[in-house]
Structure 1
């Protein structure tokens, strides 16, 4: 019977060590990916800014693109600090991207068409999604598990 207890202790120890090693690998990949995404976002924003300066003129499209990079960077920062994906930031990025597309479409194609209605409908739908997410998060806040701390 003592041999069984010894084997059970070894099994539990092995299991605990494997869990710890697995958690370390997941967290290492998590942080590496976050730093990579943050660095790529910062690089893309800097290159876009340099291209705008070299072009000699800055359009509203360019400014909205910089806002997209800003939101992506903020999203990475929040995810890094809290380990929670801020879905509202993704919705903000989508609204900014559709607004950028809408402004580009209106400024380059003077004739209005049904595409403008679709873009405006998409923006309205995303704004409604933000309203739903904000309402749901205030009405039904997520409960933090005490073991996560």
Structure 2
């Protein structure tokens, strides 16, 4: 009889610790997402105001805004799904390399091996996107079971 009570107490303590741990992890998760989203929005506004202050906008500036847009979309998708889409990271890298390539060519006006290296890196990242898309369609990830709604959790706790 005592061992059943001790086991029930252990399970209760385990459930309590797991609930507190989940609360702390999810709180940090949302706080970090709001922070990253806010910093991304702030950086894009500062960049946009800098462009207006300059009086003209270059292709570099437009690509920088696309990078901020992709980062914001990444935060939004992660917030909604709790999954980080690797493709968006690759899109950000491609856009950043394209910005670097355009900036290098437009400022230095001389083609060299750096242009070839950056172009090759963009090509490799494009191929990586194809591989990731093919793999995700051919071998979809197993979805974790959906969490119970709060009402169902309360009902389950009352039974």
- TM more than 0.5: yes
Secondary structure, in 3 states, of the residue corresponding to 2:134?
Answer: helix
State the number of aligned residues.
148
Paired residues for 1:45-124 under 5 Å: 45-124=44-123
CA distance in structure 1 between the aligned counterparts of 2:25 and 2:134, rounded to whole angstroms: 32
Provide the alpha-carbon RMSD of the alignment.
Answer: 0.9
CA distance in structure 2 between the aligned counterparts of 1:63 and 1:76, rounded to whole angstroms: 20
Runs of 5+ unmatched residues, structure 1: none
CA distance in structure 2 between the aligned counterparts of 1:145 and 1:117, rounded to whole angstroms: 43
What TM-score do the two structures reach when normalised by structure 2? 0.91
CA distance in structure 2 between the aligned counterparts of 1:13 and 1:37, rounded to whole angstroms: 36
Q: Displacement of 1:51 after TM fit?
A: 0.4
- Aligned structure 1 segments of 4 or more residues deviating by more than 6 angstroms: none
Runs of 5+ unmatched residues, structure 2: 149-159
Q: Does 1:41 align with 2:35?
A: no
CA distance in structure 2 between the aligned counterparts of 1:111 and 1:62, rounded to whole angstroms: 21
